[in-house]
Amino acid sequence: MKLSLTIAITVLLSPAWAHAAAPKALIHAHAHNDYNHKRPLLDALDHGFASIEADVFLKDGQLLVGHTAFSLRPDRTLQSLYLDPLQKHIAANHGRVFAGPERLTLLVDFKTDGPSTYAALAKLLQEKTYDALFSEFTDDKFTPRLVDVVVTGNRPIAEIIADRNRRVAIDGRLADTPSTATKELFPLISENWQDHFKWRGIGPMPAPERLQLSDMTKRVHAQGRRLRFWGAPDSTAVWSQQLSVGVDLLNADNLNALQSFLLTHPKAASAAN
């Protein structure tokens, strides 16, 4: 009885971020609008998602997380929902995000003015408590750590490049990413699916569109970067087509659906083993 009571008390008092074991990374899984889940960050990590996205607004000097300006709350900051819980998750898992050596990508989507939002983010990431957490650029040297922060949305590209001691990279677009830019500076290319394709996962994908998808993927990979699309349905048909040509990150709002798909798809399962 005493042992049972001890176990029960331990479970009740365990913080929400404690994990029995580090999750196994699903390297193709990207949690879109992650803050909408019951437990931002933690639900995605428990599902093995190796890339997570949070929208941020700069308001009164704070980086608030939410989908629109009307949904913001002062207690839902980037630090409280993501950075601090991430540190606790890593501490609980013996200095790792995942069971293996994979790094986490944290995509921070700027919804407010790029330069001022970046100034606030850069100041936050440079706090000494995060020295061992975030990958870093010092002049032309890249130091990988546990988490790669990538800025998307209203990207202040010039300001980020000019910052010679930073802890962020830039989410590129096909139209504005120089082919000569390093893969560390622009590690990812993100495109709106609806800007390129009419197919929405119903019926077979038209052959010309599939060829276009394949060509885009090859173009991005030739530069050493990863490719992601937003604006596509959460659909196994779409995910299958993307994965078949080598698209690196599959966008999903439904964590369970994408996790189930990746764990049963031969190509994704072999990559995870």
pLDDT tens-digit readout, 207-245:
999 999 999 999 999 999 999 999 999 999 999 999 999
pLDDT tens-digit readout, 68-100:
889 899 999 999 999 999 999 999 999 999 999
Residue 109 · residue 55 · CB < 8 Å: yes
What would the two tokens of residue 241 be? 């087509």
pLDDT tens-digit readout, 10-39:
333 444 444 457 899 999 999 999 999 999
Which region among 5-14, 118-127, 246-255 has the lowest average model confidence (pLDDT)? Answer: 5-14
| Nearest Cα residue to 238 out of 203, 265, 200, 210 | 200
What would the two tokens of residue 11 be? 């479970």
Query: What is d(CA 187, CA 248) in angstroms, rounded to the nearest whole number?
Result: 11
Helix (H) or strand (E) holding 73: none
Q: What is the mean pLDDT of residues 241-258?
A: 97
The length of the chain, given as a count of residues: 273
Query: What is d(CA 146, CA 134) in angstroms, rounded to the nearest whole number?
Result: 6
Helix (H) or strand (E) holding 30: strand 26-31
Q: What is the mean pLDDT of residues 255-267?
A: 92
Query: What is d(CA 143, CA 47) in angstroms, rounded to the nearest whole number?
Result: 27
The pLDDT confidence band at residue 4, using thresholds 50, 70 and 90, is: very low
Query: What is d(CA 135, CA 128) in angstroms, rounded to the nearest whole number?
Result: 13
For domain 27-268, the question of CATH label 3.20.20.190 is answered with yes
How many CB atoms are located within 10 Å of the residue 206 CB? 12
